[in-house]
Structure 1
Amino acid sequence: MRIALVGCGAVTQAVYVPLLSRRRDLFEVSAVCDLSRTLADAVGDRLGAAGRYTSVDDLLAAGGFDAVVVLASGSHGETVRKALAAGYAVLCEKPLALTRAEVAALPEGRLMVGYMKQYDPAVRRAEEALAALGGPEAIRAVEVTVLHPSGESQLAFANLTQARDVDPGLLASLRAAEHDLVSKALGEAAPEPVRNLYGVALGSICHDLSLLRRFTGSPQEISYVETWGAAPGSIEISGPLPVRGRFSLRWHYLEDYPAYRETVAIHHDRGSLELVFPSPYLMNAPTTLTVVSDAESRAHWREVTEAFEVQLAAFHAYVNDGKPPLTDAGGGLEDIVTAQRIAARYALQHDLPIGGEAA
């Protein structure tokens, strides 16, 4: 399947380039696009892509591919809209967009939203174990803890090509456009603490929201939100699960922490299922599933199959065989709504202004 990549930054270089290089049985990268011609050429050279573009409009007009993989930073809504309107299948890295309105504006088409943790073999095994226990009705609580060191430390091994050739005026206009989108989501008067919280919710915590969607369904209510420390700092979120039990989520940005660590524990009346994820940038690093069935019994299961690679294969199966993705536009929208509920609860607790869609 011939694909075009939009965005040639950190996740593309550290994750998608090595995976697409070894999965030439499934994909041919025909074109790449980035605001930086330096990055487009670097990724194009590594993947043998003939087409190199700095404009999404030029990329789509030139064609020569079957699908578009959207890996750029910021909101993906407008790029996805244009690609779907042009008739291409789309794999879009999370988040799908920053506003509900952007999702509502998407035309019909083949769209898969990328939450690679949903495709992690350890997660799929936990889903099977939970189903055997009775599904969401068996859950007493879900507890999530994320310890997040700096992106620079997580990516130090990758020797990334840096972009220094993008017009500062263009970058400023894109930041202003993104600020306007967040204003539509949260209201013009939303202060920086609410905006920062929303950014973390859609940029990182959304992975855990996507797991809640798989295990229990999206939370319909957020009871409590607190933040502390210099932004992005620490965030605590809790609320009821849609069927039974409650969830609590604690996310900590710890710049000098030794290594990324994410733990998702599902507690039920007879034991626990605990998932421990490594840094998402380390290819084939194992996720560990621990099944606790009584006081003396702990079963550990590890799988080094790369979740990003499984996700790519699932996109290939979706486009060629019609196998539905785990997250489509509807699932992406659910996570945007939950992120807006998180921002709104925090604003209400602290008597801060909230408007826009989140109101």
Structure 2
Amino acid sequence: MRIALVGCGAVTQAVYVPLLSRRRDLFEVSAVCDLSRTLADAVGDRLGAARRYTALEEMLADGGFDAVVMLASGSHGEAVRQAMTAGYAVLCEKPLALTRAEVAALPEGRLMVGYMKQYDPAVRRAEKLLAELGGPEAIRSVEVVVLHPSGESQLAFANLTQARDVDPGLLASLRAAERELVSRALGEPAPEPVRNLYGVSLGSICHDLSLLRRFTGSPTEISYVDTWGPAPGSIEISGPLPVRGRFGIRWHYLEDYPAYRETVAVHHDHGSLELVFPAPYLMNAPTTLTVVSGGEGGESRTHWRDVTEAFEVQLAAFHAFVNDGEPPFTDAGGALEDIVTAQRIAARYAVQQGLPVGGEAA
């Protein structure tokens, strides 16, 4: 399948370039696009893509590919709209958009939103075990803890090509456009603490929201939100699950923490399922699933690992989606649920702190 890559930054270089290089049985990268010609050339050289662009519109007009993989930072709503309007299938990295309106503006078409943890073999095994235990009705609680070091420390090993050739005026205008989208989501008067919380919810915590969607369904209510420490700081979120039980998320930005760590524990009527995720940019580092159960008056713990790379499974799922019609785990509807949940998180925090909130989140 011939694909075009949009965005040649950190995730593309550290994750997608090595994966696409070894999955030439599935994909041929025909074109790459980035605001930085330096990055477009670097990624194009590594993947053998002869056509390099700095403007999405020009790349879409020239064509010569079957699908678009959207990997640029920030909101992807308008870029995805353009690609789908041009008739291309799209794999879009999370978040799909920053507002509900951007999702509503998308045309009919083939869209898959990338939450790679949903494709992790350990997550799939946990889903199967949970279904055997009775599904969402058996859950007492889902507890999440994320210890998040700086992006620079996580990617220090990757020897990334840096972009220093993008017009500063263009970057400033893009940042202003992103801020305007957040204002539409939260209201123009929304202060920085509310905006920062929304950004973390859609940029990182959304992975945990995507797992809640798989395990139990999206939360329909947020009961409590708190933040502390220097931004982005620490965040605590809790509320009821849609079927039974409650969830709690504690997310900590720790600049100098030695290694990323994320734990998702599902406590059910008969024991626990605990997932421990490694740093997302380390290819084929296994997630550990620990199954805790009782038996013969004691506790039993079983550990399960699989080195299959979740990002690679996700890419293969996109190939099956486009060519065989296999539905993705997250489409526009699932991505919209996460946007709505993030807006509920921001609104609950604003109300608790006596801060203004408006826009879609109101």
Q: TM-score, normalization: structure 2?
A: 0.99
Residue equivalent to 2:345: 342
Residue equivalent to 2:148: 148
Residue equivalent to 2:138: 138
Residue equivalent to 2:323: 320
Q: Which amino acid aligns with 1:289?
A: L
Q: Which amino acid aligns with 2:114?
A: G
Q: Which amino acid aligns with 1:299?
A: T
Residue equivalent to 2:250: 250
Equivalent residue of 2:11, what SS? helix
Q: 2:58 & 2:51 partners in 1: Cα distance?
A: 10
Q: 1:236 & 1:137 partners in 2: Cα distance?
A: 24
Q: Deviations over 1:277-324 (max 9, x none)?
A: 000000000000000012420000001000000000000000000000
Residue equivalent to 1:306: 309
Residue equivalent to 2:121: 121
Residue equivalent to 2:98: 98
1:216-231 aligned within 5 A: 216-231=216-231
Runs of 4+ in 1 over 6 A off after TM superposition: none
Residue equivalent to 1:170: 170
Residue equivalent to 1:29: 29
Give the unaligned 5+ runs of structure 2.
none
Shift of 1:172: 0.2
Q: 1:257 & 1:230 partners in 2: Cα distance?
A: 15
Q: Aligned pair 1:74/2:74, yes or no?
A: yes
Q: Deviations over 1:43-96 (max 9, x none)?
A: 000000011000000110111000000000000000000000000000000000
Shift of 1:217: 0.1
Identity among equivalent pairs (%): 88
Q: Deviations over 1:164-216 (max 9, x none)?
A: 00000000000000000000000000000000000000000000000000000
Shift of 1:339: 0.2
Q: 1:358 & 1:62 partners in 2: Cα distance?
A: 39
Shift of 1:139: 0.1
Q: TM-score, normalization: structure 1?
A: 1.00
Q: 2:248 & 2:74 partners in 1: Cα distance?
A: 27
Q: 1:121 & 1:79 partners in 2: Cα distance?
A: 30
Q: 1:59 & 1:331 partners in 2: Cα distance?
A: 28
Q: Which amino acid aligns with 1:80?
A: V
Q: Deviations over 1:147-172 (max 9, x none)?
A: 00010000000000000000000000
Q: 2:349 & 2:59 partners in 1: Cα distance?
A: 41
Residue equivalent to 2:356: 353
Q: 2:339 & 2:122 partners in 1: Cα distance?
A: 25
Equivalent residue of 2:236, what SS? strand
Residue equivalent to 1:40: 40
Q: 1:42 & 1:19 partners in 2: Cα distance?
A: 16
CA RMSD of superposed structures (Å): 0.4
Q: 1:344 & 1:298 partners in 2: Cα distance?
A: 40
Give the unaligned 5+ runs of structure 1.
none
Q: 2:232 & 2:51 partners in 1: Cα distance?
A: 38
Equivalent residue of 1:8, what SS? coil
Shift of 1:269: 1.5
Shift of 1:133: 0.3
Residue equivalent to 2:59: 59
Q: Deviations over 1:243-279 (max 9, x none)?
A: 0000000000001001000000000111000000000
Residue equivalent to 2:84: 84
Q: 1:141 & 1:296 partners in 2: Cα distance?
A: 19
Q: 1:262 & 1:50 partners in 2: Cα distance?
A: 39
Q: 2:277 & 2:343 partners in 1: Cα distance?
A: 26
Residue equivalent to 1:200: 200
Q: 1:51 & 1:111 partners in 2: Cα distance?
A: 24
Q: Which amino acid aligns with 2:37?
A: R
Q: Which amino acid aligns with 1:191?
A: P
Q: Which amino acid aligns with 1:273?
A: L
Q: Which amino acid aligns with 2:141?
A: A
Residue equivalent to 1:264: 264
Q: Which amino acid aligns with 2:139?
A: I
Q: 2:332 & 2:269 partners in 1: Cα distance?
A: 34
